[in-house]
């Protein structure tokens, strides 16, 4: 084998179908986890500022525990612990049930970070806004829903963007939780003895794929942040 064989893109394009399927699995995981983590994060953030001490304690406890645990541990505990050991399955099909556990694990983990971004966003809202909301007689949930959270969201779009970018990259860890995304495909291909000459193109292709997923996400959130910034 010579040096030029190392850049033989033949094996890469022969397997382009499986690689694209891997990326599709990554996108499916990232998209759903993005939506779920936004919901979980918003609920957690409202817990953490609520007037009820039990809810505040529950929110704080959850965030502190989840943020200090490695994602790999969270995902493996979901798949091997809750699914395999405790038998909490979503379906009889193992692919489906591991997919949903990966979605739940990743959203539960990312949700804690969304919550913290949002809470720092709440801190950017001027006190007068909350005072005005109270003075016109809005209840806590009304002022949170109509006055505080909308402004907080607009303030944290850029940090939320980096949370989502990290989340997209984190989907790769789901391979440890038996979910077959693009890294799983990559590992399978690299294990083929016949794939020696395709290794460099494979890495280049997967790297390019992640650049395609991550860079536009960054630009989109940057653009959105500028567009929705609250003028004060």
Partner 1 sequence: MSAGVLFDLPGPRARARNRIITVVASLLLLALVAVFVWRMDAKGQWAGELWSPFLKGEIWRNFILPGLKNTLGAAAVATVLALIFGALFGIGRLSDHWWIRVPCGVIVEFFRAMPLLILIFLAFFLPNKISPAIAESSFGTLQRVLVDNFFSIFGVEINAGTVTVPAFAAVVFGLVMYNGSVFAEIVRAGINAVPKGQAEAGYAIGLRKSGVLRRILLPQAVTVMMPAIVAQIVVLLKDTAIGVIIAYPELLKQAFREIPPNFHNNILQAGIVVGVIYIALNLAISRLAVWLERRSRGSHRTSAKTMGAGGAPPAPGMSATGTTTGAD
Q: How far is the CB of 171 from partner 1 (least distance, A)?
A: 8
CA angle 123–127–128, rounded 5-degree value: 145
Q: How far is the CB of 123 from partner 1 (least distance, A)?
A: 6
Contact 154, 229 (CB under 8 A): yes
CA angle 21–113–33, rounded 5-degree value: 25
Q: How far is the CB of 92 from partner 1 (least distance, A)?
A: 18
Which backbone phi and psi does 76 adopt, to 5 degrees? -70, -35
CA angle 97–101–106, rounded 5-degree value: 150
Residue with tokens 């001490």: 53
Q: How far is the CB of 107 from partner 1 (least distance, A)?
A: 13
Contact 174, 29 (CB under 8 A): yes
CB nearer partner 1, residue 99 or residue 113: 113
Q: How far is the CB of 226 from partner 1 (least distance, A)?
A: 11
User: What are the structure tokens assigned to 189, written together?
Assistant: 């291909």
Q: How far is the CB of 17 from partner 1 (least distance, A)?
A: 20
Least Cα distance to 165 among 117, 97, 232 occurs for 117
CB nearer partner 1, residue 103 or residue 156: 156
Q: CA–CA separation, 55 vs 198, rounded Å?
A: 53
CB nearer partner 1, residue 92 or residue 194: 194
Helices (H), the chain: 10-14, 16-48, 53-67, 71-76, 94-122, 127-135, 140-143, 149-155, 157-170, 182-191, 199-228
The DSSP letter of residue 179 is: -
Q: How far is the CB of 24 from partner 1 (least distance, A)?
A: 16
- Give the containing element (helix H, strand E) for 201: helix 199-228
């Amino acid at each position: 084998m010579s040096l030029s064989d190392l850049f033989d893109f033949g094996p890469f394009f022969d397997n382009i179908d499986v690689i694209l399927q891997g990326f599709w699995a990554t996108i499916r995981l990232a998209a759903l986890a993005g939506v779920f983590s936004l919901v979980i994060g918003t609920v957690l953030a409202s817990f953490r500022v609520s007037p009820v001490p039990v809810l505040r304690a529950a929110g704080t406890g959850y965030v502190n525990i989840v943020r200090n645990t490695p994602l790999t541990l969270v995902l493996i505990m979901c798949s091997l612990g809750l699914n395999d050991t405790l038998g909490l399955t979503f379906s009889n099909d193992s692919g489906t049930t591991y997919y949903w556990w990966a979605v739940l694990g990743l959203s539960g983990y990312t949700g804690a970070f969304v919550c913290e971004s949002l809470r720092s966003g709440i801190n950017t809202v001027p006190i007068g806004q909350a005072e005005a909301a109270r003075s016109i007689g809005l209840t806590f949930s009304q002022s949170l829903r109509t006055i505080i959270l909308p402004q907080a969201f607009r303030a944290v779009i850029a940090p939320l963007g980096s949370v989502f970018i990290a989340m997209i990259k984190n989907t790769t860890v789901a391979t440890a939780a038996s979910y077959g995304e693009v890294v799983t495909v990559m590992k399978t291909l690299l294990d083929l003895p016949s794939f020696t000459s395709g290794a460099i193109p494979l890495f280049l292709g997967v790297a390019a794929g992640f650049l395609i997923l991550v860079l536009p996400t960054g630009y989109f959130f940057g653009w959105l942040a500028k567009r929705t910034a609250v003028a004060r």
